[in-house]
Structure 1
Amino acid sequence: MSPLHLTVTAVLTISGVALQIWSSAPSQNERQYALQLPVILLYSLAAALFLFSAFPESLTEGRALGFGLGGAAGFAAFFMLASFAWLAKTRSRDELAARLLKVSRENAALRRQLLSERSLGEAPRPLAQCTRYELPLRGDRRHRIGMVTGNLANVLGTDVWINPENTRMEMSRVDEPTISATIRYHGARRDHTGQISHDTIALELAQHMAGRSHLSAGQVLATGPGELQESNQVRRVLHVAAVEGEPGSGYRQVMDLGRCIRNILAEVDRIAGAGEPLRSVVLPLLGTGGGNSDLIKTVDTLLAATVGYFQSHPASPIRIVYLLAYTDVQAAACRAALDREPELYPQG
Structure 2
Amino acid sequence: MSWPLIGVTAALIGGGVVLQIWSSGSARGGRQHALQLPSVLLYSLAGALFLFSAFPDSFSEGRALGFGLGGAAGFAAFFMVASFAWLSRTQSRDRLAAELKAAVQENSRLRRQLTATATPTQAAVPLTRTTRYEFSLPGDRRHHLGMITGNLANVLGTDVWVNPENTRMEMSRVTEHTISATIRYHGGRRDAAGHMVHDTIALELAELMKGQAQVAAGQVLVTGAGELAESHQVRRIVHVAAVEGEPASGFRQVMDLGRCVRNILTEVERLNTGGEELRSVVLPLLGTGDGNSDLSRTAEALAEAVVGYFRAHPDSAVRTVCLLAYTDVQATVCRAALDMHLDSGQPGRSG
Give the TM-score band, short-chain normalised.
0.7 to 0.9
Q: How many residues align?
A: 284
CA contact 1:137–1:344 (8 Å) conserved in 2: no
Kindly report which structure 2 residues correspond to 1:178-193, keeping only aligned pairs within 5 A, or say none: 178-193=178-193
Letter in 2 for 1:108: L
The answer to whether the 8 Å contact 2:218/2:256 transfers is yes
In 1, distance between residues paired with 2:332 and 2:98? Answer: 22
TM-score, normalised by the number of residues in structure 2: 0.72
Equivalence for 1:208: 208
1:190-231 deviations in Å (ceiling 9; x for gaps)? 111111100000000000000000000110000000000111
Structural mapping, 1:216-227, within 5 Å: 216-227=216-227
Q: Which secondary structure state, in structure 1, belongs to the residue aligned with residue 141 of structure 2?
A: coil
Root mean square deviation, CA, Å: 3.4
SS at match of 1:206: helix
Q: Secondary structure at the match of 2:230?
A: helix
Q: Distance in 2 between matches of 1:233 and 1:213?
A: 32
Q: What displacement does 1:84 show?
A: 4.7
Residue 175 of structure 2 is aligned to residue 175 of structure 1 = yes
Aligned equivalents of 1:117, 1:238: Cα separation in 2: 33
Amino acid at match of 2:324: L
Aligned twin of 2:315: 315
Instruction: Give SS of 1:142's match.
Output: strand
Deviations 1:282-326 (A, max 9, x none): 000101113611111111111111111111111110010010011
CA-CA distance at 1:100 after TM superposition: 5.7
Deviates more, 1:268-277 or 1:198-207: 268-277
Q: Post-superposition shift, 1:132? A: 1.2
Query: Is 1:81 the equivalent of 2:83?
Result: no
Q: Is 1:105–2:107 an aligned residue pair?
A: yes
> Identity rate of aligned residues, in percent?
58
Structure showing greater radius of gyration is 1
Unaligned runs of 5+ in 2: 1-28, 35-64, 70-80
d(CA) in 2 for partners of 1:187, 1:78: 65
8 Å CA contact retained: 1:222, 1:239: yes
CA distance in 1, matches of 2:225, 2:247: 31
SS of the residue corresponding to residue 157 of structure 2 reads: coil
User: What pairs up with 1:282-301 in 2 under 5 angstroms?
Assistant: 282-290=282-290, 292-301=292-301
**Contact 2:149 2:325 (8 Å CA) reproduced:** yes
Q: 1:190 to 1:113 in 2, by over 3 A?
A: same
The answer for unaligned runs of 5 or more in structure 1 is 1-30, 37-57, 63-75
Q: Distance in 1 between matches of 2:227 and 2:341?
A: 36
Cα distance change on mapping 1:111 and 1:176 into 2, 3 Å: farther
Query: Following the alignment from structure 1 to structure 2, what is the Cα–Cα distance between the partners of residues 98 and 317?
Result: 36
Instruction: Check 1:244–1:323 CA distance in 2 against 1; reply closer, same or farther (3 A cut).
Output: same
Measured against aligned partners, the alpha-carbon deviations of 1:76-117 in whole angstroms (never above 9, x if no partner) come to 9776424357x59x95x9757744642542453454356544
Q: 5 Å matches for 1:213-292? A: 213-290=213-290, 292=292
Q: Does the aligned pair in 2 maintain the 1:104–1:340 contact within 8 Å?
A: no
Q: What is residue 144 of structure 1 aligned with on the other side?
A: 144
C-alpha distance 200-344 of structure 1, shift in aligned 2 (>3 A)? farther
Task: Return the alpha-carbon distance in structure 2 between the equivalents of residues 181 and 228 of structure 1.
Answer: 13
Structure 1 residues 106 and 320: CA distance shift in structure 2, 3 A:
same
Q: Could you list the per-position Cα deviations for residues 127-155 of structure 1 after superposition, in whole angstroms to 9, with x for gaps in the alignment?
A: 00011111112222211110010000000
Name the CA distance, whole Å, in 2 between partners of 1:343 and 1:32: 15
